[in-house]
């Protein structure tokens, strides 16, 4: 009689363990499903471009939100219209991608072809040519153009007042201002050279000068 009672106790004990394990398994299953991504939302570009990028990121839907990392969004780096982006996880199951759109900084003219360079250093596709940015001639080297405009942005010049930047094979440039005045800079010019040119062009002594030539160190040559 004692053995039958002990067997019943063991059976009851194992049933309790089985129920507990089953409950834990079901709880984990629900927990994992709770953090499955259901939507990826893109914000920052126009409606069509946002939707295009959302479609590119649909592979993330169905993934666990905790396994999503920076590598999951590497394809955004291939979108030329984007300068920067930030990803925010909206728990439990949503991702928001905030984009900073690239802005045009120059129009590059090469072999009768026009391309628009953005402030991310990439060619960007716009429906209309932007205004108040310089037209660049004499080179198709995007990196060189980008670096040159970065130098101008650090100088006293306002890039919006520059109509044209002409590159030469000698590695020097000329700029033409919106008032049709032209400045010739030396090879491997620096921010100091640009600031000196800005000072000269605003000096009353050179008001009538159409061309300011700064190619020779410590000399200002003018042409009316």
Sheet containing strand 82-90, strands side by side:
39-43, 94-101, 82-90
Strand (E) or helix (H) holding 90: strand 82-90
Q: What are phi and psi of 115, to 5 degrees?
A: -130, 150
Question: Could you tell me the pTM of the whole model?
Answer: 0.77
CB of 95 closer than 8 Å to CB of 115: no
Q: Which pLDDT score, from 0 to 100, does residue 183 have?
A: 96
Q: Which pLDDT score, from 0 to 100, does residue 14 have?
A: 53
Q: Cα 166 to chain center, whole Å?
A: 26
Q: Which pLDDT score, from 0 to 100, does residue 29 have?
A: 46
Q: Which pLDDT score, from 0 to 100, does residue 215 have?
A: 94
Nearest-angstrom CA–CA distance, 119 and 137? 18
Nearest-angstrom CA–CA distance, 54 and 156? 41
Count of Cβ atoms closer than 10 Å to residue 57 Cβ: 18
Q: Which pLDDT score, from 0 to 100, does residue 15 have?
A: 58
Please list the ranges in the chain whose pLDDT falls under 50: 1-5, 21, 23-27, 29-30
Strand (E) or helix (H) holding 100: strand 94-101
Structural domains of the chain in order of their starting residue, each with its CATH number: 34-101 (3.10.20), 104-223 (3.40.50.11690)
What is the sign of the dihedral through the CA atoms of 189, 194, 199 and 200? positive
164: nearest Cα among 106, 221, 123:
106
pLDDT digits 0-9 by tens, 109-122: 987 789 999 999 99
Nearest-angstrom CA–CA distance, 43 and 41? 7
Nearest-angstrom CA–CA distance, 31 and 151? 53
Q: Which pLDDT score, from 0 to 100, does residue 224 have?
A: 81
Q: Which pLDDT score, from 0 to 100, does residue 159 have?
A: 92
198: nearest Cα among 161, 148, 150:
161
């Amino acid at each position: 009689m004692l053995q039958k009672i002990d067997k019943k106790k063991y059976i009851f004990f194992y049933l309790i363990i089985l129920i507990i394990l089953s409950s834990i398994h079901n709880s984990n299953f629900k927990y994992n499903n709770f953090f499955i991504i259901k939507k990826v939302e893109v914000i920052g570009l126009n409606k069509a471009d946002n939707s295009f990028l959302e479609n590119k990121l649909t592979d993330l839907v169905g993934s666990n939100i905790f396994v999503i990392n920076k590598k999951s969004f590497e394809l955004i780096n291939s979108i030329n219209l984007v300068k920067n982006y930030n990803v925010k996880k909206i728990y439990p199951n949503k991702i928001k991608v905030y984009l900073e759109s690239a802005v045009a900084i120059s129009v590059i003219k090469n072999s009768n072809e026009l391309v628009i360079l953005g402030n991310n250093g990439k060619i960007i596709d716009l429906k209309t040519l932007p205004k108040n940015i310089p037209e660049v001639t004499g080179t198709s080297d995007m990196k060189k153009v980008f670096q040159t405009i970065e130098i101008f942005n650090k100088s006293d010049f306002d890039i919006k007042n520059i109509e044209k930047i002409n590159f030469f094979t000698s590695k020097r440039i000329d700029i033409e201002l919106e008032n049709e005045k032209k400045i010739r800079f030396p090879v491997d010019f620096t921010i100091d050279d640009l600031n000196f040119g800005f000072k000269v062009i605003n000096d009353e002594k050179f008001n009538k000068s159409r061309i300011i030539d700064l190619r020779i160190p410590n000399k200002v040559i003018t042409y009316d």
